[in-house]
Chain A
Amino acid sequence: MDTRELTCINCPMGCRITVVMEGAEILSVTGNNCKRGEIYAKTEVTAPVRTVTTTIKVNGGTHDRVSCKTKEPIPKDKIFEVMDVINRSVCEAPVRTGDILIPDCAGTGIPIVATKGVDNI
């Protein structure tokens, strides 16, 4: 049996979660205060994912950059590939919150969406 201690990153509560495993099989998840914590713990010990938040260059807008995020969490080991694609991309103003800026980022199947609006100059 293998025991892993995790700190849940879903919300600022930061619950301490204990996962007991037998090989690849999860035997128990304890310490979480909500369902999200259980899902986090199970994903974290098998295939960890993260939401990436960054900015992307904007042409012709009131701001030079617009904040954006991966619409869903992406595999943790893809973080730097996703950053690289975003940093080589440019979008055109106007941008609205929720607009899809990159449809499928770095082969993850997950789009990059704007988290702020930028008007035309």
Chain B
Amino acid sequence: MRADIVIVGGGPAGLAAAIAAAKEAPELSILILERDNELGGILNQCIHNGFGLHTFKEELTGPEYAERFEQQLVGHNIRYLLDTMVLNVASNQVTAVNSNDGVFTVDCGAVILCMGCRERPRGALNIPGLRPAGVFTAGTAQRLVNIEGYIPGKEVVILGSGDIGLIMARRLTLEGAKVKAVCELMPYSGGLKRNIVQCLDDFDIPLLLSHTVIDIKGKERVSSVVIAEVDGSLKPIPGTEQEIKCDTLLLSCGLIPENELSRAADIKIDPATNGPIVNESFETSVQGIFACGNVLHVHDLVDYVSEESSRAGKSAARFVKKNEIETAETKNIRIQKGSGVRYTVPCTVRIANLEDDLIIRFRSTGVFKDSYIDVQFDGEQKIHRRKQIITPGEMEQVILKREELEQCIDEITVSITEG
């Protein structure tokens, strides 16, 4: 098999990348490989609304948002294979397997990684206690309720206040379950403010900040969990334990970009994002392999995934057409994370390859109130923007104009300073 661009994953990132690549270069053939039995990825189970306000200027549910993109595939030189699992990736060849074709290879000019992320499971959290049935990740519970039509339990405790956990607190309440508490290890929520209001406050579900689960009880099925308050170093405080009777524990404790294929391809991974290190064109450390969406860094809004993936798709098309200027000929500016910044995407910029503005997305290391987002070029202040509140749960961005960037020689530093 042969395709000019192979896209690994047919979720929001893969769909947007495919469409943008096809628009940039209609003569190129594009192939999406998707392991599920339908396109759309995780959007299919995100039946709540709030998607698309940036992209379509209206509020859509996840399936509606996915459908808008799927409709755009028609009329372009884009093919897709479902129920197909990619086994190996290199810049000019992808190996995959499915029931019809067996193991097969696709020769290609470029690859775009759009594998998304997965949830941190119990095994990665080291929660003490027994191992009964009834412990689910929030996303697994979401799939059970919204796609399969099963309610995973009647009395529920949720550990972690990420958006999926908050959304599931409401979803299970609507379906008649009793959500007894949402416990968050950190002193702030990892989810969007609007979700705390409309998912917890609306239904009087308590959010217990600086609390964690220290024991899971039950032989066959969860019968209770023990929670405790934690101190500043996140250690449980003796004497604060309380036992909550429940049959289900949901875990919403963070998402990890799914980079097994990337690592096997020797792509350099940023330990801060767990995603590939990319340049302004979303190209990884391996030439011809691009990455975008949640496999690159975990996003708060799908609209940003689509926007970023469109740029990655366009870049991949330009790369295949050889319109991109080689790394050696152009200056490479580093983007440094300054104080208060956990990571930036991208990490390097080749100005000659920028078509217009550069968007730098980043997350903070903690909660900052009445602070400033600062951008420096080679140590000289360029942006000093006040921001009322910055939290790690919400992605931040700065936009730099290409002509401004021409003044920069070596490095751009993004930092958060207190007011």
Contact A11 B50 (CB under 8 A): yes
Residues of B within 8 A of A75 (CB): none
Please provide the chain A residues from 11 to 60 with a CB less than 8 Å away from any CB of chain B in the complex. 11-14, 16, 50-55, 57
Tell me if B149 and A9 are in contact (CB < 8 A). no
The answer to whether B198 and A69 have CB atoms under 8 Å apart is no
Inter-chain contacts of B47 with A (CB < 8 A):
53-55, 67, 69, 115-116
Measured CB to CB, the closest approach of chain B to A62, in angstroms, equals 9
Q: Given A53-B48, A54-B47, A65-B146, are A7 and B64 also a contact pair (CB < 8 Å)?
A: no
| Most-contacted residue by chain A among B44, B48, B171 (CB, 10 A) | B48
The answer to whether B192 touches A14 (Cβ under 8 A) is: yes
Complex formed: what's the CA distance from A121 to B53 in Å?
A: 34
Residues of chain B within 8 A of A7, CB atoms compared: 193-194, 196-197
What is the minimal beta-carbon distance from A49 to any residue of chain B, in angstroms? Answer: 11
Query: What does the 1/0 interface line of B31-68 toward A look like (CB < 8 Å)?
Result: 00000000000001001111001000001111110010
Whether B194 contacts A8 by the Cβ 8 Å rule is yes
Residues of A within 8 A of B194 (CB): 7-14
Q: Judge whether B215 is part of the interface by a CB distance below 8 angstroms.
A: no
Query: Which residues of A have CB within 8 Å of B196?
Result: 7
Q: B148 at the A/B interface (Cβ < 8 Å)?
A: yes
List A residues 45-91 near B (Cβ within 8 Å).
50-55, 57, 63-65, 67, 69, 76, 79-80, 83, 87
Is the Cβ of A115 less than 8 Å from the Cβ of B64?
yes
Name the residue of chain B whose CB is nearest to the CB of A57.
Answer: B149
Q: Is the CB of A51 within 8 A of B49?
A: yes
Number of interface residues, chain B, beta carbon within 8 A:
32
Distance in Å from the Cβ of B62 to the closest Cβ of chain A?
A: 8
Query: Given A11-B53, A14-B193, does the pair A115, B149 have CB atoms closer than 8 Å?
Result: no
Least distance between B41 CB and chain A CB atoms (Å): 14
Confirm or deny: B147 has a beta carbon within 8 angstroms of a beta carbon on chain A: yes
| Cα separation A10 to B394 with both chains bound (whole Å) | 16
Question: Which residues of B sit under 8 angstroms from A9, Cβ to Cβ?
Answer: 194, 197-198
Tell yes or no: A97 within 8 A of B by CB.
Answer: yes
Q: Does A94 make an interface contact (CB < 8 A)?
A: no
Q: Does A117 contact B (CB under 8 A)?
A: yes
Closest to B197 in A: A7
B-contacting residues of A (Cβ < 8 Å)? Answer: 6-14, 16, 50-55, 57, 63-65, 67, 69, 76, 79-80, 83, 87, 97, 115-117
Which B residues fall within an 8 A CB radius of A? 44, 47-50, 53, 59-64, 67, 145-149, 171, 174-175, 192-194, 196-198, 202, 300-301, 388, 394
- 27 A-B pairs within 8 Å (CB atoms) are namely A7-B194, A7-B197, A9-B194, A9-B198, A10-B194, A11-B194, A12-B50, A12-B53, A12-B192, A12-B300, A14-B192, A14-B194, A16-B388, A51-B49, A53-B61, A54-B47, A54-B174, A55-B145, A55-B149, A65-B149, A69-B47, A69-B61, A83-B175, A115-B47, A115-B60, A115-B61, A116-B63
